Amino acid sequence: MAQNLIFCGSQRSDRRNKIQGILEENYTSALLIVPTQQYAQKRRIELLNSINIPAIGKNIVTDFTQFAYNLLKEQYIPLHLLEEWEQKLLIRSILLSEEGRKKFESYKGLLAPDNLADSFHRIIRNLKQAGITPETFQEQIKRLSVEPWDEVVSWVYTTYQEQLKQNNGYDIPGLFWQAELECQKGKPQYITDKKYLLFDGFDDFTQSELRLIHALSSHFEHIVMGINFDTVPSRQDIYELAKDTLKRILSVLEAETISLDTPSPQTSIEFVADTLFGRDEPKTFVPSTASIIRVEQFINREEEIKNIACKIKHLLIQENVPLQKIAVSYRQLHQVRPLIEKIFTDYGIPYRILSPQSLKETWVSQFWERWFAQLNENSLSAITLLLHDPLWNIPISLREKFFLILSISGLSTNASLDCIDKKIEEKEKSLEDFNEEENKNISKIEIQQFFDELKRWLFWRNKFKKQDNVSNYIFIVLDLFHLLENTLKDCLLKEENKGKAEKEKRAYLQFLSVVKKLSTYFKNQELSLEEFQRVIFSLLSDVALFDTEHYWGVMCLDLPMIRNMEYDYLFVGGVEEGIIPLSPRQNALYSDKDITILRQSGLPIDDVAKQIRREWLFFQQIFETAQKGVFLSHALYSEKQEERSSSLLLRQCQEVCQYIQDNDLQNPKEIKTKLFIPCSPSELRNLLFYHQENEEILKQQYTDIFNCWFALQKREEGNGNIYTGDLQAEDIKKWLENRFGPNHVYSVDQIEEYVNCPFRFWTHRVLNLKDWEEELIYPSPLMIGSWAHDTLFILLKEHYEELLTNKNQVIKEKLKQIIKDIVIKDRKTFVLQKKWVDLTIEWLTQVLTEFLNSDNALIEPDWKPSYFELAFGRTMYQMEDERSQHKPYCIQIQDKSVLFSGRIDRIDRHVDNPSLRIIDYKWGSTPTKTDMGIKNNRVQEKLCSFQLFIYELAVEQHLFQEEGLSVAESCFLSITEQRKTSAPWGVNQNLRDEIKHRVKKIISETIENIHHGKFTSVPYKKQSCEYCSCKNACRYIKIEPSATLGEEESGEVEAT
């Protein structure tokens, strides 16, 4: 049984340091689980800085969901983790199935049962979090005999769970259920070498999570938890939820509990955090450090956010507060996201929004809202809804003259659709009768365009009206959107839409991929047009669209995500939107009375008291998170000028503010709302536009920023000269043909680099621009990877037989000495600090020891490592295999010969038959099977990893041609992840022939593009841009809309 500890303490207690100390001492054999991904990233960086090593595995610190996912992935369990919109879509399909419709027949007032999908999703999630299976739920409701409605809930839950199992689908509670089962079978691979399991920052666990913790307890020597719980009696009300959590933990885990004291407050913010919701009257307090607490009200949400922006700009410019020290939080951030983006951009404030946006605010959503709205009308007025839609794209001249042409054609907006059909049939006669001299503002061509538009509109309208099942609807939606693809491209290239290009393109691609998934859930179900409309609208609301443009700036995040984080200044808006308003709404499925009855049976439905406790914790976290300033604000009226309802949260805000004011608990500097603040370029542009007569004064007042904006303006004026990636200079093209001519020897890296990003190839391989490198005092990842390669070379070559017989002893005796010898001979280490070199040797020894002891090191009796660093077509170096050849490998592509060079890390020879195995070591992650061109045993049009295939051809046709040896297997081995990724074609000759054809075609196209000077800045994967050294010179943001819109990006990660 594990030796377990539970540290109970508030965020300011020593709890965090206790957990961190254990992690630092045992980081090679410990895992830390925290509540959120954001906090996991923060703790991972802190660990890296404190233990003085260059890198650590990214899975040492994770949130609980990621931990469960990693555990199952290492067990090679097929995982399809459903996003929330997919879960709701599955429930919606169940409610609209034939059996589902029969279940709801007795509820006559329920016209659209699928509208309850969100409520069913909430109930099912709560049931699964509590570890209650469909069978258990069925037994409990039979015993309780609550209402007939429970039978419907039970049926939906049972069907939902069955369909998940059929499709290997998982929701988040399902991950924990499956992880628990795997732990019960034995110790999972993911935690094989781990002794410590640490938790920190939690104040609550679901029952499913607790059951997994119980199952894990037998596989760890120590489980140590840090619970956000202050045991001081006067603070028990606010920590009621955490107190209950502690009891539930102790019911499944034998552990010693240690209470940690909270230090005395130094600022008024800390004082509020300690006394908020306390039972006792607060003691006298004099702050030793100034801090700010403000509670303000504004007329509406826009004024509220403008005030927040004004204060942030003051902090950035006049107080020199770093961007990463400021955060803005709303309970429902996605609702105010458009306002934040607009106002922060106008104020010149960089921002990073972690909350995903929905498709609601995009052209795709607007088009479908207008399209379904016009389908509900049966007169010509319906087309006017599409008149100004950017995707439907009626010509501008026709939009302007639409109603004029309408009257000339003898039609009106009230005309019936039959009347329109008749007019279209009489179109030729109408054109003959049309007199251009009498109607000088309209031409016959425009009349023709008008009838063509009516015909196009009626054609697609009728196609939608005639359908009655999901498959047909999906086919028509995809057909229509592919038709509108060129329209979208044209719209995105317009000057006024530059800022929308990235978002609209992603929205288009996202919607296409989502629509294709509809058939997975609805099969071939019959749906009315209204039902299909509701399905589409639910997708537009639920599907997340993540921001890929803003990677740094003031952090904007949902209120629950601030847990355990630390910022100097925190702005919390919309505090009138508490979960518990003063007059609570009833649950859509269960009334308050039903909730009370269900809770008696242990079903996980929160009552009002528990929701209030949770609300208190959220509110207290605000004061635990901020160090120097808390700004709370609320709006009195909604956008529709309706008065907003108050809440318990707002009432507590006002009480806090009053208490601080009465006791004079702070003396901060005043932040004025009207400040002299330097302009951003966009603000200056507006000033110049509206106050042209003051241009000279503005130039003098804002000299630096004016010059910057003026230069930007000049650069943008010459749009025709903006670099697009296609070189026009014929002399450079001629030089490229000579430089990369028939005698040029390509490395596989060169071809892969061009395919991954032509612009990067241009900067690195043609211009020969190197990455900027700072002077390092510790070994770089490139050095460490090189040392690891050389160490494995020597160890496997000289000590292979000993490794087979006694791995551990050989590694202990030989490995560290080999690494030391290699490091000493490396001249680059002379400029490094000795302590860093010694630390790296220790760490690298540990990493390689774990790798060689793993099954994926491929040290097997049937295969003997025979050749190391085997090169072809390149200069020899001291550690290359003696069998290496200077002569490059030649591939015939049509009538051309392409020369290749390479260096193969390791080739094994089978002891019983003439077969070879190619192994290429990777320090980090390996290419996926999709990267190598094969998905679901089919060759893809695109691929970006050619290395293994080129090596196979070079081995069989060049290096070992005379001996007639064949390659039985080739693979990548990740040293740090201890993962093997095999070439997906294996010995399947048909797949090999297909992939060979694709590789040759891509190589030929790549060389031809290089000769023609095509170096566009459109990467194969967007992820590769994150650490690219060419970002400052790259015009990817401007050029990207010209990329193919109809193709989805391949960014998946596969497990072998």
In a shared domain, residues 234 and 298: no
Give the CA-trace dihedral at 345, 346, 349, 350, to 10 degrees: 20
The count of structural domains within the chain is 6
In a shared domain, residues 192 and 66: yes
Q: Which class for 769: exposed (0-12), middle (13-18), buried (19 or more C-beta within 10 A)?
A: middle
Domain boundary among 167, 183, 199: 167
Q: Which class for 519: exposed (0-12), middle (13-18), buried (19 or more C-beta within 10 A)?
A: middle
Place of tokens 């605010």: 361
In a shared domain, residues 65 and 179: yes
Question: Element (H or E) spanning 1035, and its range?
Answer: none
Domain-located, residue 625: yes
Which pLDDT score is estimated for 235? Answer: 80
| 529 close to 464: Cβ distance less than 8 angstroms | yes
Domain-located, residue 839: no
In a shared domain, residues 608 and 690: no
In a shared domain, residues 1025 and 885: yes
In a shared domain, residues 297 and 191: no
What are the tokens at 763? 């900067």
Domain-located, residue 304: yes
Can you give the length of the chain in residues? 1056
Which pLDDT score is estimated for 440? Answer: 65
Q: Return contacts of 802-808, CB within 8 angstroms, 24+ apart.
A: 803/852, 803/859, 804/859, 804/861, 807/852, 807/853, 807/859, 808/853
What does the alpha-carbon distance between residue 967 and residue 952 come to, in Å, rounded to a whole number? 6
Q: Residue 654 CA to chain centroid, in angstroms?
A: 37
Q: Please, which residues bridge with residue 892 across strands?
A: 897
What CATH number does the domain containing 604 carry?
Answer: 3.40.50.300
Domain-located, residue 439: yes
Radius of gyration of the chain from its Cα atoms, rounded to whole angstroms: 33
In a shared domain, residues 567 and 424: no
CA distances from residue 646 to 306, 312, 391 in whole angstroms, order as listed: 22, 27, 41
Q: Which of 873, 980, 872, 1003 is nearest to 933 (CA)?
A: 1003
Angle, CA of 246, 251 and 256, to the nearest 5° = 60
What are the tokens at 789? 């390669």
Q: What are phi and psi of 226, to 5 degrees?
A: -115, 110
Pairing of strands 222-228, 196-202: parallel
What are the residues whose beta carbons fall under 8 Å from the beta carbon of 984, sequence distance 6 or more? 929, 932, 933, 934, 937, 991
What does the alpha-carbon distance between residue 799 and residue 811 come to, in Å, rounded to a whole number? 10
What does the alpha-carbon distance between residue 804 and residue 145 come to, in Å, rounded to a whole number? 66
What does the alpha-carbon distance between residue 232 and residue 10 come to, in Å, rounded to a whole number? 10
Domain-located, residue 867: yes
In a shared domain, residues 536 and 575: no
pTM tops 0.85 = no
| 272 close to 295: Cβ distance less than 8 angstroms | no
Domain-located, residue 744: no
Q: Residue 582 CA to chain centroid, in angstroms?
A: 36
Which pLDDT score is estimated for 56? Answer: 66
What does the alpha-carbon distance between residue 195 and residue 222 come to, in Å, rounded to a whole number? 6
Q: Which of 500, 466, 224, 184 is nearest to 345 (CA)?
A: 500
Which pLDDT score is estimated for 718? Answer: 45
Question: Element (H or E) spanning 76, and its range?
Answer: none
CB-CB neighbours of 315 under 10 Å: 21
Domain-located, residue 272: no
Q: What are phi and psi of 70, to 5 degrees?
A: -60, -40
Domain-located, residue 799: no
What are the residues whose beta carbons fall under 8 Å from the beta carbon of 625, sequence distance 6 or more? 327, 562, 563, 565, 566, 567, 570
CA distances from residue 186 to 190, 213, 215, 219 in whole angstroms, order as listed: 12, 14, 10, 8
Which pLDDT score is estimated for 759? Answer: 85
In a shared domain, residues 236 and 138: no
| 373 close to 392: Cβ distance less than 8 angstroms | no
Place of tokens 């000049």: 714
Q: Return contacts of 771-778, CB within 8 angstroms, 24+ apart.
A: 771/1029, 772/1029, 775/831, 776/831, 776/832, 777/832, 777/833, 777/836, 778/54, 778/832, 778/833, 778/836, 778/837, 778/839, 778/840
Pairing of strands 863-872, 896-910: antiparallel
User: What does pLDDT average to in each consecutive run of 10 residues of the chain (1056 residues)?
Assistant: 82 93 91 92 86 70 94 90 92 90 72 78 86 86 68 90 91 95 94 94 91 94 93 82 91 93 88 77 74 83 92 90 93 86 89 81 87 87 86 84 80 81 73 66 80 88 85 88 80 70 82 87 84 88 72 85 91 72 40 48 57 76 90 75 52 59 51 34 48 56 54 47 68 85 89 88 79 60 83 84 68 79 75 73 83 81 87 64 78 87 90 90 87 84 88 89 85 88 84 87 91 84 69 53 36 32
Domain range for 184 is: 3-79+174-263
Domain boundary among 134, 167, 200: 167
What b/e sequence results for 713-747 when a residue is b if at least 16 CB atoms lie within 10 Å of its CB, and e otherwise? eeeeeeeeeeebbebeeeeeeeebeeebeeeebbb
Domain boundary among 671, 700, 721: 721
What are the tokens at 206? 């679901």
Helices 363-375 and 501-522, interaxial angle, to 10°? 50
In a shared domain, residues 136 and 231: no
Q: Which of 852, 733, 736 is nearest to 802 (CA)?
A: 852
Q: Which of 552, 548, 553, 324 is nearest to 1025 (CA)?
A: 548
Using the 8-state DSSP alphabet, how is residue 586 labeled?
P
What are the tokens at 820? 């030391």
Question: Element (H or E) spanning 784, and its range?
Answer: helix 781-798
In a shared domain, residues 189 and 52: yes
Beta-strand runs (E) in 986-1028: none
Angle, CA of 302, 305 and 306, to the nearest 5° = 85
| 469 close to 97: Cβ distance less than 8 angstroms | no
In a shared domain, residues 73 and 24: yes
Pairing of strands 745-747, 554-558: unpaired
